[in-house]
């Protein structure tokens, strides 16, 4: 086992991402001490029962004390409050990062509260499931997935290299982006699909002509795949919409324009246009598989991607 990258890692928030990080850190020997913090006494107790850390604190400032790496894993709307809470406990030279799926907002919220003596490097692992809580995590959640870092202009090169090495130790591939560019990219690849899924599932629930029992009965069709996205944590997605609103609204406008074009093709029976569109989108699916971001097996790999070791 190689030497740990960090002496102490503090995880503020122990939901799906935080608990997966705890398991990945332990599995990879990436830190000597894992400190865990959660405002919820019940969640903290469950993390202790699962043996996810070495130190457990409801007070986030205590959890981060003497930590070399602090990872904030909370809904993006709480980022500023967490930064304010931990500021006094941070040691000089510590690396502070996050896992939020919006970056410009997180930077605006956190940066004013963090002391100049720490290295603030925002991040976003593009990995997850529809489950949440400390029981939901598993060590290989980040395996073969991207983690995007959005360093600030004056970011310390050595700190950035250490954080990159940490994510690679968790199994992730690391990329770097400008925060605003990140938010636009994620608006189309993550935020918009979730919003559409929530809307479609809500529409089906509202239709009086389609009873709930029929929706469930026939959900082996495409509807089932929308329900997986629509089952994601509502607090997290509320905050995503509120804190990446400009990029999301831009993508919704583009989507609405393309949807109108699709409506016209259907209304006018333009089979050539429909075939062209479905052929183009099918090619995109193949390119995702070729990029290693999904697998080409029946049932979208549900069984092949199961994690039997997941608690």
* Domain ranges within the chain, ordered by starting residue: 6-177, 181-268
Q: What is the pLDDT of residue 283?
A: 80
Yes or no: say if 51 and 76 are a contact pair by the CB < 8 Å rule. no
Q: What is the pLDDT of residue 286?
A: 77
3 state SS of 215 = helix
Which residue, chain included where needed, has tokens 């995702």? 288
Rounded to whole angstroms, what are the CA distances from 197 to 27, 34, 178, 190, 224? 34, 36, 28, 11, 10
Report CA Rg, the chain: 21
Yes or no: say if 162 and 222 are a contact pair by the CB < 8 Å rule. no
Q: What is the pLDDT of residue 159?
A: 98
Strands (E), 139-250: 146-149, 173-176
Which residue, chain included where needed, has tokens 């250490």? 162
Give the CATH number of domain 181-268.
1.10.3660.10
pTM listed for this prediction:
0.83
Q: What is the pLDDT of residue 266?
A: 93
**Residue among 50, 42, 114 nearest 34 (CA):** 50
Work out the number of other CB atoms within 10 angstroms of the CB of residue 245: 15
Q: What is the pLDDT of residue 204?
A: 77
* β-pair type (123-125, 146-149): antiparallel
**Residue among 134, 82, 136 nearest 111 (CA):** 82
H and E: helices and strands count for the chain: 13, 9
Architecture per CATH, domain 6-177, reads as 3-Layer(aba) Sandwich (3.40)
Q: What is the pLDDT of residue 296?
A: 58
Q: Which two tokens stand for residue 43?
A: 């969640």
Q: What is the pLDDT of residue 212?
A: 64
How far apart CA 184 and CA 206 sit, in angstroms, is 31
Q: CB neighbours of 108 closer than 8 A, spacing ≥ 6?
A: none
Distance of CA 281 to the CA centre of its chain: 25
pLDDT tens for the 311 residues of the chain, in order? 678 999 999 999 999 999 999 999 999 999 999 999 999 999 999 999 999 999 999 999 999 999 999 999 999 999 999 999 999 999 999 999 999 999 999 999 999 999 999 999 999 999 877 778 899 889 999 999 999 999 999 999 999 999 999 999 999 999 999 999 999 999 988 888 889 888 888 877 777 566 666 777 777 667 777 877 788 788 888 998 999 899 899 999 999 999 999 999 999 999 999 999 888 888 877 776 676 666 555 544 444 444 444 43
Quote helix, strand, coil % in the chain, to nearest 5.
55, 10, 35
Distance of CA 268 to the CA centre of its chain: 41
First to last CA, the chain: 24
């Amino acid at each position: 086992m190689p030497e740990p990258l960090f002496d102490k890692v503090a995880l503020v928030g122990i939901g799906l991402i935080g608990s997966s990080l705890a398991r990945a850190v332990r599995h990879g020997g990436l830190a000597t001490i894992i400190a865990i913090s959660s405002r919820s006494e019940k969640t903290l107790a469950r993390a202790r029962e699962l043996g996810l850390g070495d130190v457990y604190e409801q007070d986030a400032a205590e959890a981060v004390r003497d930590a070399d790496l602090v990872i904030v894993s909370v809904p993006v709307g709480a980022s500023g409050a967490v930064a304010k809470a931990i500021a006094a406990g941070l040691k000089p030279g510590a690396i502070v990062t996050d896992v939020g799926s919006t970056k410009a907002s997180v930077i605006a919220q956190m940066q004013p509260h963090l002391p100049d003596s720490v290295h603030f490097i925002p991040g976003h692992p593009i990995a997850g499931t529809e489950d949440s809580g400390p029981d939901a995590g598993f060590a290989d959640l980040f395996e073969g997935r991207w983690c995007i870092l959005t360093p600030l202009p004056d970011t310390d090169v050595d700190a950035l290299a250490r954080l990159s090495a940490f994510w690679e130790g968790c199994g992730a591939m690391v990329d770097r982006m400008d925060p605003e560019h990140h938010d636009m990219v994620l608006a189309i690849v993550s935020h918009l699909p979730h919003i559409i899924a929530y809307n479609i599932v809500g529409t089906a629930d509202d239709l009086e002509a389609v009873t709930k029992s029929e929706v469930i009965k026939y959900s082996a069709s495409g509807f089932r795949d929308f329900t997986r996205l629509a089952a994601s944590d509502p607090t997290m997605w509320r905050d995503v919409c509120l804190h990446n609103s400009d990029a999301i609204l831009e993508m919704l406008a583009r989507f609405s324009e393309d949807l109108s074009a699709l409506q016209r093709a259907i209304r006018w029976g333009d089979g050539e246009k429909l075939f062209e569109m479905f052929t183009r989108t099918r090619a995109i699916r193949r390119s995702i598989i070729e990029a290693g971001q999904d697998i080409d097996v029946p049932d979208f790999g549900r069984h092949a991607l199961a994690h039997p070791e997941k608690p």
